[in-house]
Chain A
Amino acid sequence: MPTQIPVMAHLVLGYPTLQTSIRTAEQYIAAGCAILELQVPFSHPTADGAVITEACRVAALDQGVSMSDCLQAIEFLRKKYPSQEIMVMSYANRLYNFGLERFRSEMERLEVSRLIIPDLPVDSVLMPASRRVKPVPVLAANVTDARLECLLGLGCDFFYLMSDFKITGGTFSLHPRLAELATRIRLANPVARIGVGFGIETPEQVKAVLEVADYAIIGSALIRAQKEGRLDQYLAVLKNMPRFTTQRV
């Protein structure tokens, strides 16, 4: 079992090109990122910040990356790295347009572990999840007790927490009530995994996040590093983070 770093690395499929994005994914895997979060690009990513929005527009509109392009890329990575945990992230209209049932069965076939669809509440009628491909709720500190109980009751066991009330890629801060939220989740479900994302860049921030979470979710910072030609250095910094062993769930 390879040792991994507790990082969930996000990338936009098709940015800047499909081939480059696949190579980037392989770099993340080589760096030991525990989870690969692959975003199927949508022209209007309503919950993403400027960096990811721009990447999505390039991939979806300029590169014209289709759903089948994305599925082929995922299939390539799945076959080459059978034990790598892969999550897929996108927006409702891309899946709706492809066909929800069809998307669900493709996700199962590709052994994608989780779906992150920010504009679909996990229990929404349109969520194309199944027992094998579970949906990930994206929560912030304002989640109500009733809603949290409902999500736990639905069997959610991976929680994506927003570091603070903001969109991806802004300046980092950790909401004071986040630790309490993580504790509430762990008390209710001891095996639940928790990732914290939105605005994480520096090793110090990663450390701070890992105080409360199992994974630091990094997206915009990776894209910025790649754009500025310093991805290798940035990944090297992440690699020097304390390691931990994990296994695919």
Chain B
Amino acid sequence: MKTATILDKIVAHKQQEIALLYRNYDLAKLHQSVQTGQGNFYKKLADAGMRRESFFIAEFKRKSPSEGWIARDADAAEQVRAYARAGACAVSVLTDAHFFGGSYDDLRTAASAEGRPLLLQKDFVLDPIQVHLARQSGADIILLIAAILDAEQLKNLKNLAESLGMGVIVEIHDLADFEKIKHLDCPVLGINNRDLKTFRTALNRFNFLKQHIRAAGKSPFLIAESGIRDYRDLQALKNADGFLIGTTLMRQAPGASLHDLFQTRDPRMLLKACGIRTPELLREETADYTGINFSPASRRRVDPSLLDQGIPANAVAVFYRNTEKEISAILEKYPFRRVQLYAGDVSPEFVRSLRCKVLLACRVRETADLEALEAYAPDVDLFILDGAEPGSGRRIVTAIPADFPYPFLLAGGIHIGNLDLVKKYRNCIGADVASGIETDGMVDPEKVAALLTGVQRPMPYRTAIQASTGYYGAYGGCFVPEVLLPGLEEIAAAFEAIKTDEVFQRDFQEMLQQFSGRPTAFTPLPRLSEQIGGARLYLKNEGLNHTGAHKINHCIGQALLARRLGKKRIIAETGAGQHGYATAAVCARLGLDCTVYMGRKDYERQRPNVYWMELLGARVVPVEDGSQTLNDAVIAAFKDWVAHPDETYYLLGSAVGPHPYPAMNTFFQKMVGEEIRRQCLELTGRLPDACVACVGGGSNALGMFFDFLDEAGVRLIGVEAGGHGTYPGEHAAKLSRGRPGVFEGYHSYFLQDGDGNIAATHSVSAGLDYCGVSPILAWLADVGRVDFAVASDAEALEAVQTLARTEGIIPALESAHAFAHAFRLASEMPPESIIVVNASGRGEKDLFITMRHFQEESLTRYARHLLNT
């Protein structure tokens, strides 16, 4: 016989209540009199996502079955105002009286509060009359619980609520719920971390269900519900779009900022200091978690008398090779809020029997070890992935895939020197350190403090780049002759100033719009996607910019900066001529004198661009030195600058070179990614799964990637020029085939020979034909945030033709490298996923190169014709 769960009891009671409601209200009259809502819940959720803000739904709750009375006499209006001040985007108001002490009066009082945010009616909704009453009492959103409704009821109630102008959160808590709602169109799903049968919460239930939702090809907004007590818990739910938080907030002093409370402004890595066994470190301030070891196998085993003074909220009881019986006995005596267990030591059933939060550790010897975690996934709060021999300080975490799907702490041999490892993993939210905080076998408070500063310091990628003084990890810097330092310092100072200067930003935006025609189009590629038969492809058409490529973005930015510095003379280098062409156009527009250096070889083979530049009034100087290509042009420009440091501004053409050029050109290009974010959300309702860009120096790739760097769910892939071979001189794949070095003012990856001489490069696309790469990309490659691939000359040429014929767009040969790789990627990804490719330039400039490949004879005929007329 099945015993009645709490949920069964609530539902039974609710049916009686509904019968009462029908006695007091006339549904037909209610339906006529009720006013349609204007809450715009879905749009506000999308907007918050676009601003990358956490969407907090704070709950007004007087009591709960699991907690009893929380705030019996609280005033709903006052609480709503306090929540609004604290930054809540919506407030959830319980209307269930019997189990939660709420009422429709509470909802009405809440609705009367001045300046209130959106209101969510929280109840066990079974019947249309409840939906009508919710709207009549002021609700903008209702919650429909999948576990208590069948699919038909869900659909009807949802349609009713939406027809009354309300948003709907469909709440699921297990796979059976998801199966039920899978075929409904639900823009927002709430994932309740609470097991509705036992009322136990487990934070990873959210991540577990999210996995299944994504696997089914669905991408609704996801709200995490239940069990969120503090900032640590929020980190474990970092992949949620919003959070519903109740009990914790009702117990807080009203008005404290939610963003402060949950530390959402500057998300950072968490630190777990393990093996704490002295009273001075058994404190909240020591680390985000402190591990108190009860393992019989550990030399760090604690003397339990240490705990007689009390157990701080951040303390975690660590069990390794303890029996389930021992663990229960210890937890009975010492009521820890969190425990750490090892996957092999305990069963999933035992985990489900615990009432505290569970950090489940796994010894990862090979990737297969991770498969065993699936059985625990819906019932734990966080994972810890550990080296093979816990506590030995040896690291063998290479078996952890970079995209391990659940949030986890990385353990095993972490110390202050290798903390950056945590960034290699998409879902790693912090480090668990034991031997790394010890000196001679004892916990060293100084090392703990240093690590805590260490985890607090690693900033989000975007902040790290924007706040950088020129170093990105070990890369970057300003390695130039002394004579150039004053000029670079002047530019760096001006760059800092314009970042926040409204007048400059206004001029910049205005010129981008009026001169270059921004924003550029975001184009679905349906025919191509269908032909490939995988992910949905989109392109960002930077080729629609004035002068035909993204280059003009940073040319406008830098030329305005030069004007601000009072410089009248601009110098630039160019390879293919695109940067020179854009520079010449911007200089003509702003009335600046312009000199462009170009290797003799490029000067000859890119003659149309030379002509454009000259037509625009620029002086184009062919460089006879060296290999007569881009490198030599860069050096010639530097030499010009050495000779005329005062009056000249060097307008460098990629995210390379000495500080501040890499940061500055990234800054002047980042609108590309910002536009993609907005356009992709508008068109598809979500962010891309992957962004692909070609990489020469890196300006178009960084422009596209920058805005997504801190979106763990967006894969970023740079595609380098594979040329026609893997030997030196046959390609231009720096990150895939180069080595670190220092050249042209910066520390990064370069193509070079065994002695450190710069190697020759080759690519069919002149814009990728360069020996170095942005130090920012070198760093992002090393820490694993951006992946790199290679596409050959032949693949790029084929991609030009494919895109031209299926979608009517001719990309530049540079951008075609990105497409070539995106085609491969798309075929490996599921049909619901989204890939965006940056079409950094248009292909008209490649006329003579592509024509020679596709229609050589007709090119020859045309050349003859021109000569004869």
In the complex where A60-B757, A94-B756, A165-B643 touch, is A121 in contact with B478 (Cβ < 8 A)?
yes
Are A126 and B742 neighbours in the complex by a CB distance under 8 Å? yes
Q: Which residue of B lies closest to A139 (CB)?
A: B482
Q: Which of B478, B479, B642, B757 contacts A42 (CB 8 A)?
A: B757
Chain B residues, Cβ within 8 Å of A118 = 481
Are B741 and A167 neighbours in the complex by a CB distance under 8 Å? no
In the complex where A44-B626, A44-B631 touch, is A98 in contact with B742 (Cβ < 8 A)?
no
Closest chain-A Cβ to B183's Cβ sits at a distance in Å of: 60
Are A138 and B483 neighbours in the complex by a CB distance under 8 Å? yes
Q: Say yes or no: is B783 at the interface (Cβ < 8 Å to chain A).
A: no
Task: Fill in one digit per residue for A91-128: 1 if any B CB lies within 8 Å of its CB, else 0.
Answer: 11111111000000000000000000011111011100
Are A93 and B643 neighbours in the complex by a CB distance under 8 Å? no
Interface hits, B730-751 → A, CB 8 Å = 739-745, 747, 750
Among the listed stretches A5-13, A18-26, A45-53, A207-215, which one makes contact with chain B, having 4 or more residues with CB under 8 Å of it? A45-53
Are A67 and B755 neighbours in the complex by a CB distance under 8 Å? yes
In the complex where A47-B642, A98-B756, A138-B483 touch, is A93 in contact with B478 (Cβ < 8 A)?
no
Closest chain-B Cβ to A188's Cβ sits at a distance in Å of: 17
Task: Fill in one digit per residue for A128-148: 1 if any B CB lies within 8 Å of its CB, else 0.
Answer: 000000000111101110010
Are B483 and A142 neighbours in the complex by a CB distance under 8 Å? yes
Are A50 and B625 neighbours in the complex by a CB distance under 8 Å? yes
Chain B residues, Cβ within 8 Å of A95 = 756
Are A93 and B642 neighbours in the complex by a CB distance under 8 Å? no
Q: Say yes or no: is A166 at the interface (Cβ < 8 Å to chain B).
A: yes
Closest chain-A Cβ to B29's Cβ sits at a distance in Å of: 78
Are B486 and A93 neighbours in the complex by a CB distance under 8 Å? no
Chain A residues, Cβ within 8 Å of B639 = 46-47, 49, 167
Chain A residues, Cβ within 8 Å of B741 = 93, 96-97
Chain B residues, Cβ within 8 Å of A64 = 755
Are B758 and A44 neighbours in the complex by a CB distance under 8 Å? yes
Are A126 and B642 neighbours in the complex by a CB distance under 8 Å? no
Closest chain-A Cβ to B119's Cβ sits at a distance in Å of: 57
Chain B residues, Cβ within 8 Å of A53 = 625-626
Q: Say yes or no: is A78 at the interface (Cβ < 8 Å to chain B).
A: no
Q: Which residue of B lies closest to A117 (CB)?
A: B479
Name the residue in A95, A124, A138 with the highest tally of chain B Cβ atoms < 10 Å from its Cβ.
A124
Q: Which of B477, B482, B626, B747 contacts A147 (CB 8 A)?
A: B482
Task: Fill in one digit per residue for B478-494: 1 if any A CB lies within 8 Å of its CB, else 0.
Answer: 11111101100000000
How many chain B residues sit at the interface, stated as a range, is: 35 or more
Q: Say yes or no: is A222 at the interface (Cβ < 8 Å to chain B).
A: no
Q: Say yes or no: is B460 at the interface (Cβ < 8 Å to chain A).
A: no
Chain B residues, Cβ within 8 Å of A124 = 477, 479
Complex Cα spacing A100 to B486, Å: 26
Closest chain-A Cβ to B714's Cβ sits at a distance in Å of: 33
Closest chain-A Cβ to B430's Cβ sits at a distance in Å of: 29
Q: Say yes or no: is A185 at the interface (Cβ < 8 Å to chain B).
A: no
Chain B residues, Cβ within 8 Å of A147 = 482, 485-486
Chain B residues, Cβ within 8 Å of A126 = 477, 479, 742, 747
How many chain A residues sit at the interface, stated as a range, is: 35 or more
Are A142 and B645 neighbours in the complex by a CB distance under 8 Å? yes
Q: Say yes or no: is A55 at the interface (Cβ < 8 Å to chain B).
A: no
Q: Which residue of B lies closest to A53 (CB)?
A: B625
Are A93 and B750 neighbours in the complex by a CB distance under 8 Å? yes
Q: Which residue of B lies closest to A61 (CB)?
A: B757
Complex Cα spacing A49 to B591, Å: 31
Q: Say yes or no: is B635 at the interface (Cβ < 8 Å to chain A).
A: yes
Chain B residues, Cβ within 8 Å of A119 = 479-481, 742, 745
Are B642 and A144 neighbours in the complex by a CB distance under 8 Å? no
Closest chain-A Cβ to B424's Cβ sits at a distance in Å of: 24
Q: Which of B478, B635, B642, B755 contacts A94 (CB 8 A)?
A: B755
Q: Which of A50, A96, A125, A140 contacts B483 (CB 8 A)?
A: A140
Q: Say yes or no: is A226 at the interface (Cβ < 8 Å to chain B).
A: no
Are B756 and A42 neighbours in the complex by a CB distance under 8 Å? yes
Q: Which residue of A lies closest to B756 (CB)?
A: A97
Q: Say yes or no: is A66 at the interface (Cβ < 8 Å to chain B).
A: yes
Cβ-closest 8 pairs across A and B: A97-B756, A43-B757, A92-B742, A140-B483, A93-B756, A93-B741, A94-B756, A118-B481
Q: Would you give 22 A-B contacts (Cβ < 8 Å), ordered by A?
A: A44-B626, A44-B758, A47-B639, A47-B642, A61-B757, A92-B743, A93-B743, A93-B752, A93-B758, A94-B756, A95-B756, A96-B756, A119-B479, A119-B480, A121-B478, A121-B479, A126-B479, A126-B742, A138-B481, A147-B486, A165-B642, A165-B644
The chain B residues found within 8 Å of chain A, CB to CB, are 477-483, 485-486, 625-626, 631-632, 635, 638-639, 642-646, 739-745, 747, 750, 752, 754-758
**Further pairs besides A43-B626, A97-B739: 19, Cβ < 8 Å:** A44-B632, A46-B635, A60-B755, A60-B757, A64-B755, A93-B752, A93-B757, A95-B756, A96-B756, A97-B754, A121-B480, A124-B477, A126-B742, A126-B747, A140-B482, A140-B483, A140-B642, A142-B646, A147-B482
